[in-house]
């Protein structure tokens, strides 16, 4: 968010939101075991891989990993941008994407609110989760209200797999503008996710690679706290500046 000519430019969460919905489904959600794979699958079939992957993440209470992300945008004639940072997830419904490059950004989703903070601009943009979760599939990713098996079919991308990595292709059963298809790279020695790729209806591609995975019991509450400094401008979803009383009320509401 920057001021140009006296006006506030509200940033979109952009590449952050492109991944927000791709990751949460891993943490305890189900996917259809219907298999329509063509070609030779890995030694473990799709249902077995999904079951073991689900069991792995269902047992996880909190998780952190470094990530590298590549975003290919149709709007920029297929140009690809790269970003790096750290991802944090804590059950239930706490998520933080901390971008370190090319620009410092922090995106947090907690309870019914999400916000994007760009330190260079000293501004925070608020987002309502109900607006971000219009899609039933996206709602599933964050809330786990609807089982993904109702929304996706899983197939094996045998050509992309290796001896220790299975690549699953997840296709929505019903048309959704946010997700045309997902591909998930699964380490078949530990049944953890190492890479995710999302293709939207416009042809934009978000791909993320995770490394330095760490499973923990709890993460510091401060990671998901809404506690802006006094010199930080806070904008509501419409772009309106919040006054100190409104910011204080929001802090209290988002207190764990």
pLDDT digits (tens, 9 = 90+) for 119-144: 999 999 998 877 766 655 555 555 54
Do 109 and 92 form a contact (C-beta atoms < 8 A)?
no
Report yes or no on 1 lying in a domain: no
Q: Which of 44, 26, 27 is nearest to 35 (CA)?
A: 44
Is 2 contained in some domain?
no
Per the structure, the complete domain to which residue 201 belongs is given by 12-253
pLDDT value for 85? 94
Q: Which band of pLDDT confidence, cut at 50, 70 and 90, is reported for residue 44?
A: low
pLDDT at 58: 78
The verdict on residue 56 lying in a domain is yes
Mean model confidence pLDDT for the chain: 78
Lowest mean pLDDT among 98-102, 134-138, 202-206, 207-211: 134-138
- Is residue 86 situated within a structural domain? yes
Q: Which long-range contacts (CB under 8 A, 24 or more apart) does 211-217 make?
A: 211/65, 211/66, 211/67, 211/68, 212/65, 212/66, 213/63, 213/64, 213/65, 214/63, 214/64, 214/65, 215/60, 215/62, 215/63, 216/61, 216/62, 216/63, 216/64, 217/61, 217/62
C-beta atoms surrounding 131 within 10 Å? 9
The verdict on residue 5 lying in a domain is no
CA atoms within 13 A on the CB side of 161: 26
Residue 196 burial by CB count (10 A; 0-12/13-18/19+): exposed, middle or buried? buried
Q: What is the CATH number of the domain that holds 138?
A: 2.50.20.10
Q: What is the pTM of this model?
A: 0.79
Number of domains in the chain: 1
CB 157 within 8 A of CB 170: no
Classified as helix, coil or strand, 20 is: helix
Please indicate, yes or no, if residue 128 is contained in any of the structural domains. Answer: yes
Does 254 have pLDDT greater than 80?
yes
């Amino acid at each position: 968010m920057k001021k140009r000519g006296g006006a506030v430019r509200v940033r979109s969460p952009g590449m952050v939101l492109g991944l927000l919905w791709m990751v949460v489904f891993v943490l305890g959600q189900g996917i259809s075991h219907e298999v329509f794979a063509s070609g030779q699958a890995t030694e473990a079939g799709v249902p077995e891989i999904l079951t073991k992957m689900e069991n792995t993440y269902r047992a996880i209470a909190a998780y952190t990993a470094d990530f590298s992300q590549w975003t290919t945008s149709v709007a920029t004639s297929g140009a690809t941008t790269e970003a790096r940072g750290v991802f944090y997830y804590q059950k239930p419904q706490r998520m933080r994407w901390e971008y370190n490059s090319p620009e410092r950004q922090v995106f947090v989703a907690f309870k019914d609110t999400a916000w994007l903070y760009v330190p260079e601009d000293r501004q925070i943009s608020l987002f309502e989760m109900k607006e971000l979760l219009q899609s039933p599939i996206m709602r599933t990713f964050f809330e786990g209200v609807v089982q993904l098996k109702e929304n996706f079919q899983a197939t094996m991308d045998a050509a992309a797999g290796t001896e220790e990595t299975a690549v699953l292709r997840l296709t929505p059963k019903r048309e959704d503008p946010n997700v045309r298809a997902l591909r998930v790279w699964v380490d078949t020695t530990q049944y953890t996710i190492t890479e995710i790729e999302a293709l939207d209806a416009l042809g934009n591609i978000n791909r993320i690679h995770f490394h330095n995975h760490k499973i923990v019991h709890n993460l510091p509450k401060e990671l998901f706290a809404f506690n802006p400094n006094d010199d930080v401008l806070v904008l509501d979803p419409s772009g309106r500046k919040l006054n100190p009383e409104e910011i204080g009320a929001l802090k209290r509401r988002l207190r764990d």
